[in-house]
Amino acid sequence: MADLTSNFIGIKSPNPFWLASAPPTDKKYNVERAFEAGWGGVVWKTLGAEGPPIVNVSGPRYGAIWGADRRLLGLNNIELITDRPLEVNLQEIKEVKRKWKDRAMIISLMVPCDEDSWKAILKQIEDTEADGVELNFGCPHGMAERGMGSAVGQVPEYIEMVTRWVKQYSRMPCIVKLTPNVTSILPPAMAAKRGGADAVSLINTIKSITNVDLDAFSPFPMIDGKGSHGGYCGPAVKPIALNMVAEIARHEETRGLPISGIGGVTTWHDAAEFLALGAGNVQVCSAAMTYGFKIVQEMISGLSQYLDEKEMALSDLIGRAVPNFVEWQHLNLNYVTKAVINQDDCIKCGRCYAACEDTSHQAIAMSEDRTFTVKDDECVACNLCVNVCPVDNCITMQTLPKGALDERTGRKVGNYANWTTHPNNPGAVAAE
């Protein structure tokens, strides 16, 4: 069994699976259950400044979208930071950390954007023996209206300023949690780096309305006939998160900045993908909220098996796919594939045909007896048929070898060549 021991910016945990700062990590009871189940670490639910705690709504806090068989695909929440007194949280964090020394304990923080507030909270948590802090610059709902959360995360100057204060007033490792509610994730990541952050974590949730109640004509979750936008998470946001993680991992200014990957991690496979695109560990929330803490056991066994099969160490996986994450202009325009339908596996549903005929390139033929075949002279290899086919691996993409004839273009498959040198590109650099 592969060694999953993780060392993220000096913080050790028995595995790279942490619970993200969220409702599951709001109190000792839950966190201890998580540790008993096997989670490597937790980021405690965000603490606010001392004083009367914030107040949450007492109507629905979550909205959702579902796939077939009511499988939860996306979750949206309007819950704010912890609504428990600061001293209670601090006491519990200390108790849990003392009892579970091998697990990572990170404290998420969100206080008003002034030096004194940050100085004060950092002092108050010093005594907890926690392993690090995570600065919540991400929450897009509620707290943002009060100038915190994503209101900070959307302004790189603020990120840099607050990070600097944190590094100045605390010796703890500092993770800056980024909001995806920005045009580009790079300026916030660069700002965190400039401010001295030890790592960034991303993504926080995405501004969203999951659905509209068509009787009450209100967005959902609906509180007394009104709805507010919430933060979107769960499997649906994984593609967005993967891209943002990878952008930071490959950019020359941010390359090497440790990343804690967050966003729709549901299985070991999702986690492995985040790691391959540059995350040093992952944080999970929605999957635990959907299935309970036990899922970490599948994540542990799955990642171990994968690493064993690949004969890789965990550290070999981290960032391994980053060099292959390139810009479109560097993709090989002379690479040609064709869809191939395996007739033995085909169940003759005709979805590939409908998709191709109605919405793509009319490259699939349908016979009287419902045999579906690809027309190589029409197939542009868009992959839509593969994506809509209900049978795994029934339709595959076959690569044409160099020199083979592409029946669609009438040209033979040539050597690597991309857009930067393509004759149709007005800005092409002529190949000498």
Partner 1 sequence: MSNSPLTPGIVAARLPAAAYQSNFADHEPALDRHEARVAADRCYFCHDAPCMTACPTSIDVPLFIRQIATGTPEAAAKTIFDQNILGGMCARVCPTEQLCEEACVREAAEGKPVEIGRLQRFATDTVMVKGVHPFKRAKPTGKSVAVVGAGPAGLACAHRLAMKGHDVVVYDARPKAGGLNEYGIASYKSTNDFAAREVEWLLKIGGIRIETGKALGRDLALADLQKSHDAVFLGIGLGGVNALRAPGEDMKNVRNAVDFISELRQTSDKSTLPIGRDVVVIGGGMTAVDAAVQSKLLGAENVTIVYRRGQEKMSASGYEQDHAAQAGVRIIIHAAPVAVQDGAVEFAYTEEWPKGLTVTSQTFTLKADQVFKAIGQTLSGAPEGLKLEGGKIAVDGHGRSSVPGIWAGGDCASGGDDLTVTAVKEGRDAAEDIHASLMA
By annotation, the residues acting in catalysis are 139
Q: Residue 351 Cβ, how far from partner 1 at the closest point, in Å?
A: 6
Q: Among residues 151 and 352, whose Cβ is nearest to partner 1?
A: 352
Instruction: Quote the least distance from Cβ 370 to partner 1, whole Å.
Output: 7
CA 260 – CA 253 distance, rounded (Å): 18
In angstroms, give the least distance from the CB of 215 to partner 1.
Answer: 13
Nearest residue to 287 (alpha-carbon basis) of 274, 301, 277, 298 = 298
In whole angstroms, how close is the CB of 355 to partner 1 at the nearest point?
9
Buried residues in 350-369 as b, exposed as e (16+ CB within 10 A): ebbbebbeeebbebbebeee
Binding site for partner 1 (CB under 8 A): 68-70, 347-351, 353-354, 366, 370, 390-391
Give the nearer residue to partner 1 in terms of CB position, either 311 or 358. Answer: 358
Q: Give the residue with the Cβ less far from partner 1, 347 or 405.
A: 347
| 212 or 428: CB nearest partner 1 | 212
Taking the complex as a whole, the smallest distance from the CB of residue 68 to partner 1 amounts, in Å, to 4
Cβ proximity to partner 1, 392 vs 432, nearer residue: 392
